[in-house]
Amino acid sequence: MVDLPGGFLPAWRSNALAKSMTKDIVWDNLYIVWDAMIIVCHTIKATIWKGETGVPMKDKQAKWCPELGDFAGPKYRAIVAAMQRDIQSGALPPGTRLPTQRDLAWSLQVNLSTVTEAFREATRLRLITGEVGRGTYVLPGNDAVQLYAIDKGGNHDTIDLSTIVPARAFSSEDLRQSFATLLARDNLSDIMDYPTPDLMQRCRSAIGQFYQPRGFHPRQSDMFPCAGAQAALFAALQWIAKPDLPVLVEELTFPGMKIAARQMGLRLVPVAMDEKGILPADLDRAARASGARTLVISPILQNPTGATMDADRRAAIVALAEKLDLLVIEEDVYGGFTKEPPLSLQLAGRSILVGGLSKLVAPGPRFGFVIPMLEGNEARLPEQNFAIDELVHVTSWMAAPIMLELCCHWIESGEINRHMEWQRQEARTRQSLVRRKLGLPPLGRKPAAPHLWIGAGKDSPFAGLSGDQAAAKARAAGVEIVPASTFCAGRMLSDGIRLCATSPRDRADVTEACKRLRKAWS
């Protein structure tokens, strides 16, 4: 017999026995029927898990019932260890929907609380993620850090299309002249000290000059120079970071965001996207379901998809940020490839902009900045860890004065404008080259980013392959690219690969890489 919760049916049965034999017979028959229904339900469930119905399922649920005898320690830790093993072996690939906690407890013959504790620990370890009303899914591995430490297996012939870096524009002579100007100053020894107040003011003026062509004029007192855009992102997140804080991000988000979230213990909440960026309706849903009040977003040439918001999408996101009372952290490292102003210009006191020169000029100088545009609204936004003016302790003090001086010189002299225009043209030329060689639609009038997204599907140059499979075949052919699983913030709803056309030293390497990819994917 199967007891219902709280012994509900046996209580009915006791009352029936106390009244009459006739009623007792009726309840006994009902009891038998109930048992039969339970058996039928479990049979149907097992049939669905085995895929024997022949009906296509949108999210196929894994019939996962690991053997726990191989693992020592508490049962909940054994469940987590089994999950880690099966994820690493491929038995539980990314996007797999796990059985419900109650079903898994029933299959393993353990208490529900044991499975609940295991799922909680697996979530903390970023092995799985739960979505209200949708279930629990296996997350892709966090391979973001590997983009900066590629193992080429000793093969020096590998062409790297995986890391986004600008095309090489500065000649050795250009750099000699820049450093000669820097070394000719009278107080040269100052570059061996911490950044001085005069240097900080000079940096703020240079950042303002950098943004003038895009019609963006933030207050200089709101500008904090720092050692690169990633440092700027860390500073912005440190301001509000707390363990398990939910943060809204694009469903495919940039690797630096995943690394920061993992190190700070933040919980990423993915928001669905299209070719214009995040979808307003899904942002509304995700914010309400998660309770998140912080949104990290890349409105212009988003990494990895290259999505750029049009005027209507911008207006919708700005309206939702106001309605939901969101703090918006805007990543603007690719905005300089266009003339579009940052979204922060429209966000009226509820944004923090982070940017830098690593994708526009060169990554070596490590020149970035964080620009809080809150205008006294801090009290309305998520709880902060320190006063906004204390950002200087985690930004400007970490920057090298010699690099700050160098970048200020580039901006003040106008050298950076010439360089950025060359980068825009080179990115367009190389994107067009890749699209032509791989049989992709032409770029048209869209702005060109250094990176290019190729979605999986029947019309893809790697049709019939997943993003991970396409990347594996590319690596075997001597080309490094990045699959969608590296960028996935939750369960993987979109698949594809990202490549960077400006990473190779010259266009000849880009052509050779495309040749290898076509051969590998054919």
Amino acid at 476: A
Query: Is the pLDDT confidence value at 166 over 60?
Result: yes
Each residue's pLDDT tens digit, 259-283: 999 889 899 999 999 999 999 999 9
- CA distances, 95 to each of 101, 198, 207, 278 (Å): 17, 52, 42, 20
pLDDT band at 379 (very low <50, low <70, confident <90, very high): low
Torsion of CA 109, 113, 114, 120, to 10 degrees: 140
pLDDT band at 135 (very low <50, low <70, confident <90, very high): confident
Indicate the pairing of strand 159-160 with strand 351-356. unpaired
Higher-pLDDT residue of 155 and 432 is 432
Alpha-carbon span 208 to 212, nearest angstrom: 6
Which tokens is 478 given?
């001597």
Three-class secondary structure of residue 23 per DSSP: helix
pTM of the entire predicted model: 0.77
Phi/psi at 270 (5° precision): -75, 145
The pLDDT assigned to 480 comes to 95
Q: 365 near 404, Cβ under 8 Å?
A: no
pLDDT-above-70 percentage for the chain: 82
Mean pLDDT of 370-394: 74
Residue 410 makes CB contacts below 8 A (sequence gap 6+) with 178, 361, 416, 419
The pLDDT assigned to 171 comes to 78
Q: Worst-scoring range by mean pLDDT, 155-169, 211-225, 443-457?
A: 155-169
Alpha-carbon span 427 to 359, nearest angstrom: 11
The pLDDT assigned to 73 comes to 83
Which candidate, 517, 516, 509, 490, places its Cα nearest to that of 97?
490
Which tokens is 335 given?
């905005």
The pLDDT assigned to 399 comes to 87
Query: Is the pLDDT confidence value at 80 over 50?
Result: yes
Each residue's pLDDT tens digit, 323-366: 999 999 999 999 999 999 999 999 988 999 999 999 999 888 99
Mean pLDDT of 141-160: 61
The pLDDT assigned to 155 comes to 59
Return the top range by mean pLDDT from 59-73, 138-152, 413-427: 413-427
Q: Which residue has the tokens 């709803």?
A: 493
pLDDT band at 320 (very low <50, low <70, confident <90, very high): very high
Residue 156: CA count within 13 A, CB half-sphere: 0
Residue 243, Cβ density class (10 Å: 0-12 exposed, 13-18 middle, ≥19 buried): exposed
The pLDDT assigned to 156 comes to 65
The pLDDT assigned to 146 comes to 54
Each residue's pLDDT tens digit, 298-309: 999 999 999 999
Query: Is the pLDDT confidence value at 165 over 60?
Result: yes
Q: How many helices (H) and strands (E) does the chain have?
A: 15, 16
pLDDT-above-90 percentage for the chain: 53
Higher-pLDDT residue of 381 and 366 is 366
The pLDDT assigned to 154 comes to 45
The pLDDT assigned to 189 comes to 81
The pLDDT assigned to 519 comes to 96
Query: Is the pLDDT confidence value at 11 over 50?
Result: no
Q: 486 near 257, Cβ under 8 Å?
A: no
Each residue's pLDDT tens digit, 25-69: 444 455 445 444 544 444 444 333 333 323 233 455 668 888 888
Across the chain, what does the average pLDDT equal?
83
Mean pLDDT of 512-519: 97
The pLDDT assigned to 29 comes to 54
Mean pLDDT of 175-200: 86
Higher-pLDDT residue of 295 and 85 is 295
The pLDDT assigned to 94 comes to 78
